């Protein structure tokens, strides 16, 4: 499990859009979905058009539409990242307690989040590095992982300095325990199972061994590889 793996050729692996596109295929028709800030926000544009999906915004909107043109942006219609959004026909506004009833009460089907680390048993760390002078800020992350039925993580396979993000045990403070169901990285799609992390898909040109070399815990090769 060395992090000194040989460099992959440039262009190998999925880019951010391709990762989001791969994840979007797993969002079924009729799903209620919460997308986290950052890369998860890319997913909405790739959901196939024949599927009707409702996007939940933690600050009080069910039925988020695409970002508006700048001149149509309304500072009172924003998403969790505090960026302007639109509301689709059939959308609903509600207050924060109702919004988190949807999250905490198990009414949202899928949540897509970024990650700093995921452990082999599905623990997620995505809110704090735990550094002494860091300003702790948790937002709705702990509510989402505690309450949403299915948690998908979308993230680069390693950090910018090449450290694995899928690890034996998280060293950063946890967002939740045993909450992650599936991880979509630039190299692979990995299911968290009771037996451990199972690679169910590889990016074009990437081998299981290359993924394993960039992972901090033992992977299992799925039957479909």
Q: List residues with catalytic annotation.
A: 58
Is residue 138 near other proteins by the rule CB under 8 A? yes
Secondary structure of 102-153 in HEC code, one letter for each residue: HHHCCCCCEEEECCCEEECCCCEECCCCCCCCCCCCCCCHHHHHHHCCEEEE
- Rounded distance between C-alpha atoms, residue 140 and residue 142, angstroms: 6
| Phi, psi for 42 (deg, rounded to 5) | -70, -20
Is residue 4 near other proteins by the rule CB under 8 A? no
Which SS3 state, helix, strand or coil, does residue 29 take?
A: coil
According to CB under 8 A, which one of 40, 42, 53, 99 is a site residue for other proteins? 99
Positions 163 through 202 that interact with other proteins (CB under 8 A): 173-177
Is residue 141 near other proteins by the rule CB under 8 A? yes
Q: Which of 166, 205, 184 is nearest to 46 (CA)?
A: 184
Is residue 139 near other proteins by the rule CB under 8 A? yes
User: Least distance to other proteins from the beta carbon of 113, Å?
Assistant: 14
Positions 201 through 220 that interact with other proteins (CB under 8 A): none
According to CB under 8 A, which one of 67, 87, 200, 201 is a site residue for other proteins? 87
Is residue 69 near other proteins by the rule CB under 8 A? no
According to CB under 8 A, which one of 4, 10, 69, 97 is a site residue for other proteins? 97
User: Residue 63 belongs to what H/E stretch?
Assistant: strand 61-65
Supply 176's token pair: 């939740």
- Rounded distance between C-alpha atoms, residue 179 and residue 121, angstroms: 8
User: Least distance to other proteins from the beta carbon of 52, Å?
Assistant: 22
Instruction: Show the site string, 46-65: x = touches other proteins by CB under 8 A, - = not.
Output: -----------xxxxx----
Rank residues 4 and 132 by Cβ distance to other proteins and give the closer one.
Answer: 132
Half-sphere exposure of 9 (CA within 13 A, CB side): 7
Rank residues 36 and 222 by Cβ distance to other proteins and give the closer one.
Answer: 36
Reading across the β-sheet that carries 117-119, which strands appear in turn?
Answer: 124-125, 117-119, 166-167
According to CB under 8 A, which one of 38, 48, 66, 136 is a site residue for other proteins? 136
Q: Which residues bind other proteins (CB under 8 A)?
A: 57-61, 74-78, 82, 87, 93-97, 99-100, 103-104, 123, 133, 135-143, 146-147, 173-177
């Amino acid at each position: 499990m060395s992090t000194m793996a040989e460099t992959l050729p440039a262009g190998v692996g999925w880019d951010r859009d391709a990762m989001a596109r791969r994840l979007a295929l797993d969002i079924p028709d009729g799903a209620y979905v919460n997308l986290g800030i950052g890369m998860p926000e890319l997913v909405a544009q790739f959901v196939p058009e024949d599927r009707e999906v409702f996007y939940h915004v933690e600050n009080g909107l069910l039925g988020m539409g695409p970002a508006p043109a700048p001149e149509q942006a309304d500072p009172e219609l924003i998403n969790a990242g505090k960026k302007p959004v639109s509301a689709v026909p059939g959308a609903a506004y509600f207050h924060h307690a109702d919004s988190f009833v949807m999250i905490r009460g198990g009414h949202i089907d899928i949540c897509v989040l970024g990650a700093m680390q995921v452990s082999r048993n599905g623990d997620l760390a995505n809110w704090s590095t735990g550094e002494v002078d860091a300003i702790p800020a948790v937002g709705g992350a702990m509510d989402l992982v505690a309450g949403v039925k299915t948690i998908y993580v979308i993230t680069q396979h390693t950090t910018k300095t090449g450290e694995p993000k899928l690890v034996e045990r998280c060293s950063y403070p946890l967002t939740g325990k045993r909450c992650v169901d599936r991880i979509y990285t630039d190299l692979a799609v990995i299911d968290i199972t009771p037996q451990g992390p199972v690679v169910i898909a590889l990016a074009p040109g990437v081998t299981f061994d290359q993924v394993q070399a960039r992972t901090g815990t033992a992977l299992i090769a799925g039957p479909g590889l």
